[in-house]
Amino acid sequence: MLLWLIYRGATSMGYTWQWERVPKYLYRVIEGELIWGTLVRGLLVTIEITFFATILALIIGLATALLRLSRSYSGHLVSTFYLELVRNTPLLVQMYLFYFILSPIIGIDRFWTGVLCLAFFEASFISEIIRGGILSIPRGQWEGASSLGLRQWKVYSLIVLPQAVPIMLPPMTSAVVNLLKNSAIVSTIAVFDLTNEGRNAIADTFMSFEIWFTVAAMYLTMTISLSAFAGWLESRARRRHTRT
């Protein structure tokens, strides 16, 4: 029904559909050689940004969660300040601050500026997911590990985190999906991701409906694939935990 309403709206506007012009922005075959179009190249940049930002966000999120759970007053203060600052300011403002202030200071290009900004933004949510997963482990597990004389890092790596991972996977998937969707913000600093390439294609062709539908379908394919992969990881982790 939604597609029908969009079609009717476009028809009432006198819009002429030109789907036959879309494939060249995905791929072309010239003299037997496959050449990827601008949308596919933008898709690869989006995937690359999401990959690096996810890794950094997991590291920053884990460090922040451990600081909040630690007995260190300064560590708890720093982590709380970071969370309140990042979670209560708009992502667009943070992107501009990273680009115009941090980027010239540390000397990084636009790509890594976008990666760092997304990583620090999403890590503020991932840290709470990790902290909640750690706190969900029964107290008896901690006491049993302490009675064995294990060091703190071994308690986390061998006892706590392996049990917390299946609990954290569903909300963690949502966080990664949000990071993927939020990656479109890097187009504001002229990174040629999928969204930016879509805007350029529309500027060249004026095919707003066709290009944005194609871009939306590409994002949808990535998010559904991520959710399916995370579901497979969750079921595998639960089976392993049950056997253990």
In a domain, 100, yes or no: yes
pLDDT in tens, the chain (244 residues): 888 887 777 778 777 888 899 999 999 888 888 899 999 999 999 999 999 999 999 999 999 998 998 888 898 899 999 999 999 999 999 999 999 999 999 999 999 999 999 999 999 999 999 998 888 888 877 777 777 777 777 787 778 887 888 788 888 888 999 999 999 999 999 899 999 999 999 999 888 888 999 999 999 999 999 888 877 877 776 676 666 5
Number of domains composing the chain: 1
In a domain, 168, yes or no: yes
d(CA 185, CA 134): 31
CATH value at residue 141: 1.10.3720.10
In a domain, 114, yes or no: yes
Render 187-233 in DSSP notation, one character per residue: GGGT---HHHHHHHHHHHH--HHHHHHHHHHHHHHHHHHHHHHHHHH
In a domain, 75, yes or no: yes
The domain containing residue 228 runs over which residues? 43-187+202-243
